[in-house]
Structure 1
Amino acid sequence: MSESPIALLMFSSMMLLLLTGKRVFGAIGFVAAAAALLLWGDGGVELPFSAAMKLMKWYPLLTLPLFVFMGYMLSESGIAEDLYRMFHVWMGPLHGGLAIGTILLMVVISAMNGLSVAGMAIGASIALPELLRRGYDKIMVTGVIQAGSALGILIPPSVVLVLYGMIARQPVGQLWLAGVFPGLLMAGLFILYIVIRCWIKPSMGPALPAEERAQISLGDKVRLLRAGLIPLFIFFAMTGLFVLGYTSLVESSAVGAVSALLAALVKGRLNRRVMEDTLRKTLVITCMFMWIILAALCFGAVFDGLGAVKAIEDLFVGSLGLGPWEILILMQLSFILMGMFLDDTAMLVIVAPLYIPLVGSLGFDLVWYGVLYTITCQMAYMTPPFGYNLFLMRAMAPPEISLRDIYASVTPFVLVMALTLVLVMVFPQIALWLPQLHYGR
């Protein structure tokens, strides 16, 4: 049997296992290990062993548990709630102000955690009930929560970009810096949409009543500002030290983790329950991603050995005669299609062994492509019928928000994400300027 049918058999076997509900790392790792043994006999066992050693020697992987710990510590200790109360008071007088404050909250939560699940949990439990109680349009605010939480996989420290960096063999520091401006651009476009929508129809985002604003003194506002600025200070101290060159990537993650721990301790919110919940959730997320990376490395090694990447390149460039940009657009469309059924890590692990080498051979920058992949994943998260964020929202939303409302809420925000994707594709320097500036010095 030639290489192409074997690669196709591996791919279809993996998809079949995933459709049965098996865990992503188990399905991918099993197919890779079984294929290696069948193709190369006993020598095939070296593939998973070599992948494990490569994973354990990858120093930047230490950032993963440290950043996840920082995010969960700030969340479990209630410091993230202080931040929302600050936005609530200071942005409330504007039409749509609480929705704008929610987007800003999500930006900061993203910068603290790097996971969309964390932003969704905080937004759905803290912001959504308050927005509904204030009379905000339920469809609009449901979309706000979902779109804001999707920022977690783009704005650094993004856990997904860590996974991409490991598989694509690209520096995580450059990937994180590349995600800064696209993430802020997307958040800014979300806010612009909310402002225009509430300007056209103010009833969709009513301002805080004047009598309620009068009850909040200037002293209360200052106290809320001081409490809410703590997570912002932690983030800027952590990233500032890294950008200025005083700390490495791993050292910056340690600064963030220790700062979050000290902040919870100083505010008197560090207790046994908070510490246990934070450590347990950090361990779960870290182990999950390490297993996925291990399975992806093994799967990629088998694909490389088969020469499947070269076969795919010959198909697109030789047989079909497609140009580089046409191939790139087809790749992004395939991500959106897969995102209807799979989460971002599964998508990356399935197609990374094929797409990433092909992107490099077409002459595209792999750091830039990492940002494109992540934005496309954000769109796929919110694409019906089976977008990941849609079902997360359904599980966390109050009863008055139906699945139909959730589906209707995402359309304008997906269009904003598509606009961001187009802008980053047409103007690559949106993503590449900051990493080139920092690493080019």
Structure 2
Amino acid sequence: MSDPVLGMVMLGSFIVVILLGFPVAFTLMAMGIGFGYLSLEMRVFDLLVQRTYAVMANDVLISIPLFIFMGYVIERANILDRLFRALQLASGGLPGALAVATLATCAMFATATGIVGAVVTLMGLLAFPAMLRAGYDARLAAGVVCAGGCLGILIPPSIMFILYGATTGTSVARLYAAAFLPGLGLAALYMAYVMILALLRPSMAPKLPPEERDVPFGTVLLAVLTSFVPLAVLIMAVLGAILLGLATPSEAAAMGSAGAVLLAIAYRAFTFEKLKESVFLTARTTAMVCWLFVGAYIFTSVFGYLGGHHVVEKWFVEDLNLSPVTFLMVTQLIIFVLGWPLEWSEIVLIFVPIFLPLLDTFGIDPIFFGVLVGLNLQTSFMTPPVAMAAYYLKGVAPPQVKLGQIFAGCLPFVGIVVLAMTMLYIFPEIATWLPSYLYDTPQTGGSGADVLQAPSGGFQVDEEPQLPSLN
């Protein structure tokens, strides 16, 4: 069996084994070492050591545990209920006010935490019952919570873009700048959909009672100043420091972690027990991400050494004869389908590197491609069979709410994500303008295929990775 065929067998075997439910990180390492031994023999074990050390020594990845710790501290400071109440009061006169407040809270809290499961679970306990009590349709309420909770994947400071930046060798600051407007735009599209639906079908999102809408301005202002403003200042300080080049992502994440602790102290919600829980959860989540990174590093290195990427490149360039725009559409369709059985971290670390060498061939900027992937990955949490956001919500929802209702509620928001991606294809300036303005890059608009190519590196699928000698 030739090496490229062996590489494709390895890729197919991995997909089958993952669908059987085996742990992803250790499956990646086992597949990489097993198939690598057939071609590299003992050198594959040296490759394992090299790649593990490279991941642990990667400065970009230092920001991951810091951002995760920041999120867990904020989550345990009981800020969410204050924030939701303030935004509910501020949006009381809008159509679908509770749903709008839920989306705004999710966007704000997802930005602070970036942990989809935490946001969906907390909003499922707080906002979902409130919407049901107000007479909201269960499907709409479920879709709002699930879609809003997934925004942390896209809106900076997103852990997904840290992993993507480390994978591709692109600047995390530029990725954050490119994703900022698309992330806010997607949240705005969600809110617009809810308000239009509330106007057209008031029975699905009834107006709040007069006593909840006619709240004195001073009460609203005080609620906003004591809940929304402190968290907004913390997030903007962290994000602004990164975008303006005042701090690296790791330095900004450290500043955000310290700010989260101070915020918890200010709200009198800081205890040693909560700190211990935050540290434990951070260590557990970080270990999972890092070992997944190690496994993906080994897998893609062996896949590249076997020449599997030649098969992929030949299929895209020669067999399908795709144009750049068609290539973007096909790859995003593949990622969308992969989102049904896999989570975003697995897609970013395993399958995105397979497409990276083709970006040079089609002249596509990896930063623009990364924003498209970030938008697309919103759907991975909302499309069955592995719609994790739906399962998170089902775990805390009232018994009468069925999983089918939650799935049905998510589908319109999946359609909105597709609309947002279409808008980004047509108007790439949505993603390219802010990085160009901040960093004077030569990126210009036109169409998705016209976005200029930027340098990339990281752990792309190399043709022949550097391997130690047997001597």
TM-score range, shorter chain: over 0.9
Deviations 1:135-174 (A, max 9, x none): 2221111110111111110001111222222222222222
Q: Any stretches of 5+ residues in structure 1 without a counterpart?
A: none
In the alignment, structure 1 residue 402 sits paired with structure 2 residue 390: no
Query: Which secondary structure state, in structure 2, belongs to the residue aligned with residue 384 of structure 1?
Result: coil
Give the aligned partner of residue 239 of structure 1. 239
Q: 1:336 touches 1:383 (CA, 8 Å); kept in 2?
A: no
* Residues in 2 aligned to 1:282 and 1:383: alpha-carbon distance in whole angstroms: 27
Matches within 5 A, 1:76-91: 76-91=76-91
The Cα of 1:213 is off from its aligned counterpart by: 4.4
Q: Which amino acid aligns with 1:391?
A: Y
What CA deviation, in whole Å up to 9, does each residue of 1:24-72 have, x standing for no partner? 1011111012222221111121222121222122212111111111111
Distance apart, 1:212 and its partner CA = 4.0
Partner in structure 2 of residue 252 of structure 1: 252
- The residue number in structure 2 matching 1:164 is 164
**Distance between the aligned counterparts of 1:175 and 1:263, measured in 2?**
27
Counterparts of 2:241 and 2:353, CA distance in 1: 34
Q: Which residue of 2 aligns with 1:341?
A: 341
Q: Which residue of 2 aligns with 1:371?
A: 371
The one-letter code sitting in structure 1 at the alignment partner of 2:195 is V
Q: Which amino acid aligns with 1:88?
A: Q
- State the Cα deviation string for residues 279-311 of structure 1 (Å, max 9, x = none): 122112111111111111111111221222122
Deviation at 1:265, TM superposition (A): 1.0
Is the 1:3–1:306 contact (alpha carbons within 8 Å) kept by the matching residues of 2? yes
Q: 1:179 aligns to what?
A: 179
Distance 2:328 2:238 in 1: 35
Residues 1:224 and 2:223 aligned together: yes
The corresponding residue for 1:28 is 28
1: CA distance between counterparts of 2:218 and 2:277?
34
2:466: which partner in 1? none
1:122 partner letter? L
Taking structure 2 as the reference length, the TM-score comes to: 0.89
Give the Å deviation of 1:79: 1.4
Runs of 4+ in 1 over 6 A off after TM superposition: none
Greater shift after overlay, 316-325 or 416-425? 316-325
1:438 corresponds in structure 2 to 438
Residue in structure 1 matched with residue 6 of structure 2 by the alignment? 6
Q: Which stretch shifts more, 234-243 or 414-423?
A: 234-243
Equivalence for 1:57 = 57
Map 1:83-232 → 2, pairs under 5 A: 83-213=83-213, 216-228=215-227, 229-232=229-232
Residue identity matched to 1:97: A
Match of 1:72 in 2: 72
Q: Comparing 398-407 with 185-194, which one deviates more in the overlay?
A: 398-407
Q: CA deviation at 1:222?
A: 3.1
1:233-274 per-residue CA deviation (whole Å, 9 max, x = no partner) reads 111122223333322222111111111100111221101221
Q: Shift in Å at residue 217 of structure 1?
A: 4.5
**Offset of residue 275 of structure 1:** 0.9
Q: Where do residues 381-420 of structure 1 align in structure 2 (5 Å cutoff)?
A: 381-420=381-420
Q: Any stretches of 5+ residues in structure 2 without a counterpart?
A: 442-471
SS of equivalent to 2:37: helix
Read off the aligned partner of 1:384 and give its amino acid letter. P
| Pairs aligned (count) | 440
Over 3 Å counting, the alpha-carbon distance change for 1:353 and 1:218 in structure 2 is closer
Deviations 1:348-400 (A, max 9, x none): 33323321212232111111111111211112321234323222222232212
Q: Is contact 2:143-2:406 (8 Å) kept?
A: yes
TM-superposed CA distance for 1:335, in Å, is: 1.4
Rounded Cα–Cα distance in structure 1 between residues aligned with 2:321 and 2:242: 44
Equivalent residue of 2:42, what SS?
Answer: helix
1:218–1:112 Cα change, 3 Å: same
Provide the C-alpha distance between the structure 1 equivalents of 2:47 and 2:234, rounded to a whole number of angstroms.
41
SS of residue matched to 2:41? helix
Letter in structure 2 aligned against 1:246 = L
Deviations 1:90-125 (A, max 9, x none): 212332111111111111112111232222122111
Q: Is the 8 A contact 2:74 2:113 kept in 1?
A: no
Q: 1:351 and 2:351 equivalent?
A: yes
Answer yes or no: is the 8 Å Cα contact 2:368–2:432 preserved in 1: yes
Code of the residue aligned with 2:62 in structure 1: it is L
When the two chains are superposed, the root-mean-square deviation of aligned CA atoms in Å is 1.7
Amino acid at match of 1:377: L
- In the alignment, which residue of structure 2 is the partner of 1:320? 320
Q: Distance in 1 between matches of 2:270 and 2:101?
A: 27
The CA distance in 1 between the partners of 2:375 and 2:118, in whole Å, is: 18
Larger displacement relative to structure 2 (181-190 or 50-59): 50-59
Quote the offset at 1:411 in angstroms: 2.0
Once the two structures are overlaid, the 10-residue window that deviates more, 42-51 or 380-389, is 380-389
* Paired AA for residue 90 in structure 2: W
Contact 1:309 1:353 in 2 (8 A): no
Is 1:293 matched up with 2:300?
no
**Could you say if the C-alpha distance between residues 163 and 241 of structure 1 is closer, same or farther in structure 2, counting changes exceeding 3 Å?**
closer
Q: Which amino acid aligns with 1:420?
A: A
Distance 1:221 1:353, change over 3 A: closer
8 Å Cα contact 1:313/1:358 also seen in 2: yes
